[in-house]
Amino acid sequence: MAAPVDAHATLLRSDPPASGSFTSGPQTITLWFSEEIESEYSRIDVLRRDGSRVLAGDLESTSEDTEPSLRLTLSEPLADGSYTVVWSTLSAVDSHVSEGFFSFTVGDELLPSPDQEAALAASVGGDKVIPQAVDATVRWMNLLGQATVAGVLLFVPVVLYPTLRASTEGRVAVPSRRYRRLLFAALAVIVVGHLAAAAVQIMNATRSTDLEVLGEPLISLLSETRYGALWLARSILILALGILLWLLTRGKRLMSTARQGRVVWIWAGWIAALVLLTTSLGSHAAARGGAQSLPVAFDWLHLLGTAVWSGGLFALALSLSLASEAGPKTRTRLLQRFSIVALAAFVVLAITGTVAAIREVDSFDGLTATDYGFWFTVKLVVVAGAVGLGAWHWLVVRPAIDSGQESVATRAASGLRRTMRVEAGLIVLAVAATGLLTSSIPARDLLDPGPPMFATTRITSEASITLRATPGKVGTNEFTVVVGPVDDTTFGGLQRVYLSFAPARASESSQRLQLEQASPNDPWTYRGSGAYLSLDGDWEVTAIIRRAGVPEDLEAPFALTADSSGLRPTGVPAPVTDDGVSSEALVLGGAWLLGALTLATAAWLMRRRERPALSFSLLTLSVLAAAMGSVLLLAGGGVA
């Protein structure tokens, strides 16, 4: 089968198929993908075993099927030998670069080994890509900057102003200097990340780290691709956001929410939300369901929840001293109001994060055996620590500040500032983990081999006939017959292609399925579907090919066995599944439980040293680690 890709436009199938064998070589190479692709930044190379390239024409994008595809027309007939197809594409949806390779043979030849295939693929072009750490850093900058701006723009009119207005009898005068620094520092991070993202994108798209690609190739990318359209739209939104931030903070006081000021605050918040939306429109979620889909909506809500929590926390840290000057009651009201908003944001994050995990991680193996699952787990642990501190602030610190005892309230307020810094640091780390998460291959794409398919080839003196069945199980299948003539001029044009299905039990009659030509531009591929392999047992499936000007039909028999494990050639044993104990899961489970014990011990020590906030956070992490370890142990023992 095809080698795993290192990005997100998954190769669904190919013609010729991976590991196929033909009496004569194909005239075209066609690849079908799971996402729309930018053909200008994609390529297909066909290599001989010695590494030399097969001459080919232009690469064209086709739309004959529901899946996006690329077709390469070969300029010369293929001699007997093995050939390796090396492909690279740029997704038009999530803007990630995908690549992979597979091999097929012509004539009586052996396929190259996996190591030989990998060496051939690595020899193509000497390409260079941006390291994942750089890509993740750029994503982290964009996520953190836009979340901070959006969070502050919501915190001030929704949390800060109503609190101060209630405490100062309508007289609200908030110094703008501290907020101006935070907002424009975050805006600078967004601008740098935005520009760097374009540079990273063109270097990945052209597979080159030369600075020359920042000229005409970059202009072409930004003017002719979906990524470029999103990038330019985001540029306009960032410019508008900068102007609105200047209007809000240009004086000595923040602009109030009265009259014209209310309009500016609303527009600034809306533009900040649209900046977040541009991120969702170029994410894994857009690749799953398209721009107008629930995955994009849920991803946008997740980013909004992150902004409310993280940006709001940064703004709260700046506002505590201001609220304290207005009195203890004002500080208490501020904490109460933000706690309600943060709790709502956390609920949104929990729901949308769970939906995303189900969509992208998909399975237990996806969580434990992929980089995506690893960074998701890291993010989950860091967020759990931040939630633990937030719960401590809600359940312990806030009541202490509101206790009426001056010494207790003063000590709690002093500790609040320290633990808020820790919570803010954990949120920054969570956003960094998100950057690594979004730059990794989703576990579903990495582990899912695509639609299951059974394929087998029969070579005759006149042609090679390949039979494919999808999904290759007992019941309804889509059947495809691909004919590869030895000599096109003498073989004759195809008039009809049938499949005959006869069970090995002679008492049952056979059935015949007439196939239809798959595409007007492909005269050698025919398809049809039906529940013709409806029972377990041995089957004789015969491809019957009727040709113009040839009196006798060409027949190619295939002996198949159908059972609960799928389809396979008759005589080949069924694959053995391992339902025993997974040693890897047991080791990971033990490590998680050991970590839980260590965290619980540290929490107990912190409590004895009268550091209850840190103790509460460590205890929360301990519970999460214990739950993860228990699930791993159950899965390793075959229970989960």
Q: pLDDT digits over 11-56, tens only?
A: 777 878 777 777 777 788 888 887 778 888 888 888 888 888 888 8
Could you give the CA distance from residue 562 to residue 280 in angstroms, rounded to a whole number? 44
What are the start-end ranges of the H helices in 361-449?
364-368, 371-392, 398-401, 406-438, 443-447
pLDDT for the residue numbered 34: 75
Mean pLDDT (the chain, rounded): 80
Question: How many C-beta neighbours within 10 Å does residue 212 have?
Answer: 10
Least confident among 307-311, 510-514, 635-639: 635-639
Q: Domain boundary residue among 83, 111, 126?
A: 126
* 580-616 pLDDT per residue, tens: 445 556 666 677 677 777 777 777 766 655 566 566 6
Query: Are residue 82 and residue 145 in the same domain, yes or no?
Result: no
Question: How many domains, the chain?
Answer: 4
Q: Which residues pair with 46 in a beta bridge?
A: 85
**What average pLDDT score do residues 325-333 get?**
76
Q: Quick check: 640 pLDDT over 60? A: no
Residue 87 domain flag:
yes
pLDDT for the residue numbered 8: 56
State the residue range of the domain holding 507: 454-569
**What average pLDDT score do residues 326-349 get?**
82
Query: Are residue 331 and residue 466 in the same domain, yes or no?
Result: no
pLDDT for the residue numbered 7: 41
| Run of H or E including 158 | none
Q: Quick check: 103 pLDDT over 50? A: yes
Query: Are residue 270 and residue 137 in the same domain, yes or no?
Result: yes
Most confident option among 285-289, 497-501, 562-566, 587-591: 497-501
pLDDT for the residue numbered 4: 39
Q: Quick check: 183 pLDDT over 90? A: yes
Phi-psi region for residue 59, left (φ > 0), alpha (ψ -120 to 50) or beta? Answer: beta
**What average pLDDT score do residues 133-146 get?**
89
**What average pLDDT score do residues 244-249 get?**
92
pLDDT for the residue numbered 482: 85
Q: Give the pair of three-digit tokens for residue 537.
A: 């047992």
Which residue would you say has higher pLDDT here, 250 or 326? 250
**What average pLDDT score do residues 529-557 get?**
87
Q: Quick check: 534 pLDDT over 50? A: yes
pLDDT for the residue numbered 585: 63
Question: Which of 86, 96, 123 has its CA nearest to residue 7?
Answer: 96
The residue to which tokens 């994108």 are assigned: 201
- Give the CATH number for residue 413: 1.20.1630
Query: Are residue 394 and residue 432 in the same domain, yes or no?
Result: yes
Query: Are residue 47 and residue 141 in the same domain, yes or no?
Result: no
* 272-313 pLDDT per residue, tens: 999 999 988 887 777 666 656 678 888 889 999 999 988 988
Query: Are residue 250 and residue 353 in the same domain, yes or no?
Result: yes
Residue 501 domain flag:
yes
Least confident among 147-156, 251-260, 379-388, 444-453: 444-453
Q: Quick check: 258 pLDDT over 70? A: yes
Q: Is residue 578 packed enough to be buried (19+ CB in 10 Å), middle (13-18) or exposed (0-12)?
A: exposed
Which residue would you say has higher pLDDT here, 549 or 83? 83
Residue 574 domain flag:
no
**What average pLDDT score do residues 196-215 get?**
84
pLDDT for the residue numbered 286: 72
> pLDDT band for position 235 (50/70/90)?
very high
Residue 16 domain flag:
yes
Could you give the CA distance from residue 510 to residue 614 in angstroms, rounded to a whole number? 74
**What average pLDDT score do residues 84-96 get?**
81
What sign does the dihedral 475-451-564-570 (CA atoms) show?
Answer: positive
Question: Which of 389, 388, 387, 363 has its CA nearest to residue 376?
Answer: 363
**What average pLDDT score do residues 112-137 get?**
76
Most confident option among 31-45, 51-65, 398-412: 31-45
Q: Quick check: 236 pLDDT over 90? A: yes
Q: Domain boundary residue among 399, 418, 446?
A: 446
Q: Quick check: 191 pLDDT over 90? A: yes
- Give the CATH number for residue 27: 2.60.40.1220
Residue 2 domain flag:
no
Q: Quick check: 578 pLDDT over 50? A: no
Residue 149 domain flag:
yes
Q: Give the pair of three-digit tokens for residue 266.
A: 């609303």
Share of the chain above pLDDT 70, in %: 84
Query: Are residue 508 and residue 603 in the same domain, yes or no?
Result: no
Could you give the CA distance from residue 434 to residue 135 in angstroms, rounded to a whole number? 12
**What average pLDDT score do residues 525-542 get?**
86
pLDDT for the residue numbered 170: 52
pLDDT for the residue numbered 112: 80
Which residue would you say has higher pLDDT here, 80 or 629? 80
Residue 578 domain flag:
no
Query: Are residue 509 and residue 418 in the same domain, yes or no?
Result: no
Query: Are residue 49 and residue 22 in the same domain, yes or no?
Result: yes
Q: Domain boundary residue among 86, 101, 126?
A: 126
Query: Are residue 565 and residue 507 in the same domain, yes or no?
Result: yes
Query: Are residue 111 and residue 143 in the same domain, yes or no?
Result: no
Residue 5 domain flag:
no
Query: Are residue 277 and residue 350 in the same domain, yes or no?
Result: yes
